[in-house]
Amino acid sequence: MSTYPDNYRYTKEHEWVSVEGDTATVGITFHAQKELGDIVYVDLPKPGLKLSPGDTFGSVESVKAVSDIYSPVGGEIVGANPALADAPDTLNSDPHGEAWLVKIRLASPGEVDLLMSAEEYQAYIGS
Amino acid sequence: MSEAAALKRTPLFDTHHAHKARMVNFGGWEMPVQYRGIIEEHQEVRNAVGIFDVSHMGEIVVRGPEALQLVNFVTTNNAAKLQSGQAHYSGLLYETGCFVDDILVHKVSETEYFLCVNASNQDKDFAHITSHNRFDCEVENAGPRYAQIAVQGPLSPKVVNRVTKDDISLLRYYWFTETEAAGFPARVAHTGYTGEDGFELYVAPKHAGPLWQALLAAGAGSGIAPCGLGARNTLRLEAGMALYGHEIDASITPLEAGLAWIVKFDKGDFVGRAALEAQRSAGVKRRLTGFEMTERGIGRDGYEVRIDGEAAGWVTSGGPSPTLNKNIGLCYLPAAAAESGRPIEIVIRDRPVAAVTVPTPFYKRPK
C-alpha cells in the first residue's frame, strides 16, 4: 500500500493537491492509478489556461479507458509536468511524487481547506 | 450490488477472486479484465504463456444425418471441406449479408458439428440457426455443458502437453482432438484469439477448476500466469482479428470487414449469399483498415475519422500496442480511400489528431 501524505489535500475525484505559497501542485492518487490500471497516455493543458473548480483540464488514459481530470481548485495553469508525455507509466509507479500533473496559481488559496485530509480521503476510499 | 448479482459467473469465478482479479461486466458475464496489469499480461502471452478463462463463450452443437447441410446453409465458409477433427473460422449472416456473429466451426464427425460462438450472441445465434433448420438434424444450445480455458503463447504447446493424455505437439493449427486433460474428458483445439500459438480446451464446468490448477502447475516453470479479457483484447487487436460489436455487427458484411476469405461462393446456397453477391458486383463501398497514430493520442472505438478535413469513417477498436509500442486501431473508410499509407485524422475530444493507414495484422508471430 502507498501512503497518502498528510500535507496533501484530496478530492472525491481522486486527485491530490499540495500547496506552496499561492501555487498548488495537482496529481492523481495512488487509488486512482490502481483503479485505472496501466496508464499509457496523458493529455495536459498549456500554461495560461484559467480554471474554475470542477473544470476539466486534461485526461489520463489507461489501456482500456479515458478518464477526465477535474480541477480541484480555481486559478491559472502555470506549468504541466513535461516528463509524463514520454513516461506516462510514472503515474502508476509514483503518483504522489514524480508524476505530478500540473501547477495552478490559486485564485483563492483558502479553497484548498475545503478538500479532504489524508485521513478523510482514506476513509472515503475505504482503505 | 443488485446489478452484479444478476451477472452470470463462470465456474472459475472463485479462482479469479483468489488471484485478485479485477472483475467487469462483459456481455452480461462477470469476467476478469486483468490480474496484474494488462500490459504485463499481454507481454507474458507474447513471450511465454498465459491462461485465460473464456468460459463465457457459447457453444452450439448441430447433430444428425444432415448436420453438414444445416451448418453449410447458415455459415459462410465451406464446412464440407472440413475433415473430422478440423476447425475453421466462419460467419453467421442475416439475409442482408451482415453478421449475426463470427464463429468457429469444429467438425466432430460426419454427423456432428461443434460451434464456438460469442458469449453475448449465444441465444441469438441458437435462435437464428434453429429458424433455418429444415434439415434432418437437431441444434443444441450447449453453453451450459462447457467451460473453456485458453492457453496462449509460444510455450503453450509444452504446457498443454504436460496435462493431456495424448501428445498434442503434433496437432496441426486449427485441428482439435478428444482426449483427457488433467484426467478429465476434454476437447483440445489448436486455436486462439491472440495471434500467438495456443490452445483452447473445452471441458465440463465441474472440471474447469481442477484443470485450471493443473495447467498453472504444469506451466509454473514456463512462467504461466492468468490473463484477463483486457490483454485478450490488446492481443487480438495487434493480430488484426475482428471483435463482434466492434469490427462486425448486424450492419457490416464480411466483404467490408476484410473477411472475404471466409465467404465461399462456390459451395452452394447459404443465408446472406444473394446480398453478398449483389454487394460484390456493385462494389464494396467501405472497408476495414488498420491505422497507427502519427501524433500523440489514442484513437478509440467510435471516434470519427477524417480525410482532408471531411468525415470519412469511424474507429472500431483502438488502443496502445504493447508489442509495437505504438497507438494502433482499426477503422472503416470509403473503399477508394482504404489503401495503406494514407494520412487520416482521428477526432479525439473535438481535436483532429494525425494518423496513417497501415496494413494488418499489426503483429505477426515469428514462425
Cβ atoms of B77 and B125 closer than 8 Å = no
Domains observed in chain B: 2-55+146-238 (3.30.1360.120), 58-144 (3.30.70.1400), 285-358 (2.40.30.110)
Residues of chain B neighbouring A61 (CB-CB closer than 8 A): 298
Among residues 6-65 of chain A, which lie with CB inside 8 Å of chain B? 37-38, 40-41, 43, 59, 61-64
Q: Pick from B230, B296, B297: which is nearest to A64 by CB?
A: B230
Structural domain contains residue A32: yes
Structural domain contains residue A8: no
| pLDDT at residue A17 is higher than 50 | yes
The three three-digit cell numbers of residue B312, written as one number: 470519412
Cα B284 from chain centre: 24
Nearest-angstrom CA–CA distance, B81 and B58:
24
Cβ atoms of B211 and B149 closer than 8 Å = yes
The three three-digit cell numbers of residue B258, written as one number: 476484410
Given the DSSP bridges, would you call strands B351-358 and B343-348 parallel, antiparallel or unpaired? antiparallel
- Residue A115 three-state SS: coil
Shortest alpha-carbon distance between residue B33 and chain A (Å): 10
Interface predicted TM-score (ipTM): 0.87
Residues of chain B neighbouring A38 (CB-CB closer than 8 A): 37-40
Cα B262 from chain centre: 14
Structural domain contains residue A87: yes
Structural domain contains residue A74: yes
Shortest alpha-carbon distance between residue A60 and chain B (Å): 11
| pLDDT at residue A15 is higher than 70 | yes
Cβ atoms of B251 and B318 closer than 8 Å = no
Domain count, chain A: 1
Among A12, A56, A62, smallest CA distance to B349 is for A56
Structural domain contains residue A124: no
Residues of chain A neighbouring B33 (CB-CB closer than 8 A): 64
**Mean pLDDT over the full length of chain B:** 96
The three three-digit cell numbers of residue A31, written as one number: 487509488
Residues of chain B neighbouring A85 (CB-CB closer than 8 A): 296
Does residue B320 sit at the A interface (CB-CB below 8 Å)? yes
| pLDDT at residue B257 is higher than 90 | yes
pLDDT above 70 coverage of chain B, percent: 99
Interface probe with B: pick from A63, A67, A68, most Cβ of B within 10 Å: A63
Q: Pick from A59, A61, A64: which is nearest to B38 by CB?
A: A64
**Mean predicted confidence (pLDDT) in B209-213:** 98
CA–CA distances in Å: residue B122 to residues B163, B195, B316: 29, 24, 22
Shortest alpha-carbon distance between residue B199 and chain A (Å): 25
Structural domain contains residue A5: no
Query: What count of residues does chain B have?
Result: 367
Task: Return the pLDDT at B328.
Answer: 98
Cα A66 from chain centre: 15
Given the DSSP bridges, would you call strands B112-117 and B58-63 parallel, antiparallel or unpaired? antiparallel
pLDDT tens digits, residue range A61-100?
999 999 999 999 999 999 999 999 999 999 999 999 999 9
Cβ atoms of B127 and B140 closer than 8 Å = no
Residues of chain A neighbouring B230 (CB-CB closer than 8 A): 37, 63-64
Q: Pick from B37, B327, B349: which is nearest to A38 by CB?
A: B37
DSSP string, B33-85: EESS-HHHHHHHHHHS-EEEE-TTSEEEEEESTTHHHHHHHHBSS-GGGPPTT
Calculate the CA dihedral of residues B165, B170, B171, B177 and round it to 10 degrees.
Answer: -30
**Mean predicted confidence (pLDDT) in A14-37:** 96
Q: Pick from A43, A59, A63: which is nearest to B320 by CB?
A: A63
pLDDT band, residue B5 (cuts 50/70/90):
low
The range of the structural domain enclosing residue A91 comes to 13-105
Structural domain contains residue A122: no
A91: domain CATH number? Answer: 2.40.50.100
pLDDT band, residue B1 (cuts 50/70/90):
very low
| pLDDT at residue B32 is higher than 60 | yes
Residues 6+ apart with CB under 8 A from B63: B111, B112, B113, B137, B138, B140
